[in-house]
Amino acid sequence: MMDDESNNGRITYYYSREERLKRAPQAVKDLNNPSNIPRPGIFRALTANRPLKFLFFSIIILSIVIFIMSILLSAGGTRALGKNTITISAIGAGESSYITIKKTIQKSSGKNSGEESAYTGMVNFAVILPDDERIVFSDQIYFSTENEEIFNFEAPFREKKILIFMEAGDKQVRFTVHPK
């Protein structure tokens, strides 16, 4: 840089950053202002550019969808009851609901010969309406040593949501079923 008037025709070289910034445009001065430098963070690193933003928000949306689907799909029917897997489904037709209970014996790992065997015997169940919480239908079924058993019942009502409680010995299971 040359500054003929103040240095009598001599060339002055500025090696100091502050001296060079005095002559820089305002946009450059703003870039070098320490108060304008963004703080680093995990969110800023994950969304630094457009592809990373798209990937980050896609993962967030997929996680939310998976969470909601797991809640909605688990509302129905598969639970364990004394080494038995119980699946309940219901179909509404006319003024009645048809309830199907499917019992499957869980496969043992075979490593432990002292494992508890599948529950066999009497199972009490009650169908309850969630609005008034009164028992509308109750019955007993008997689990045998068969690998798979299916029990069908007709309940004298039709609702959008049915609560079913099952009791086998000291174990209890609760199902929420939405008839189709």
- pLDDT, residue 28, reads 83
How far apart are the C-alpha atoms of 74 and 63, rounded to whole Å? 16
Q: What are phi and psi of 179, to 5 degrees?
A: -60, 145
pLDDT higher than 70, residue 77: no
Domains of the chain: 4-72 (no CATH), 78-108+118-177 (2.60.40.150)
Mapped to the 3 state alphabet, what secondary structure does the chain carry? CECHHHHCCCECCCCCHHHHHHCCCHHHHHHCCHHHCCCCCHHHHHCCCHHHHHHHHHHHHHHHHHHHHHHHHCCCCEEEECCEEEEEEEEEECCEEEEEEEEEECCCCCCCCCCCCCCCEEEEEEEECCCCCCEEEEEEEEECCCCEEEEEEEECCCCCCEEEEEEECCEEEEEEECCC
Q: For residues 137-152, give the mean pLDDT.
A: 84
Q: For residues 80-89, give the mean pLDDT.
A: 80
pLDDT higher than 70, residue 21: yes
What percent of the chain lies above the pLDDT cut of 90? 9
Query: Which tens digits make up the pLDDT trace of 109-124?
Result: 555 555 667 778 888 8
- pLDDT, residue 112, reads 57
How far apart are the C-alpha atoms of 150 and 1, rounded to whole Å? 94
177 vs 87, which has greater pLDDT? 87
Tokens of 151: 């029990």
- pLDDT, residue 1, reads 45
How far apart are the C-alpha atoms of 26 and 37, rounded to whole Å? 15
Q: For residues 43-65, give the mean pLDDT.
A: 92
What percent of the chain lies above the pLDDT cut of 70? 84
How far apart are the C-alpha atoms of 147 and 130, rounded to whole Å? 32
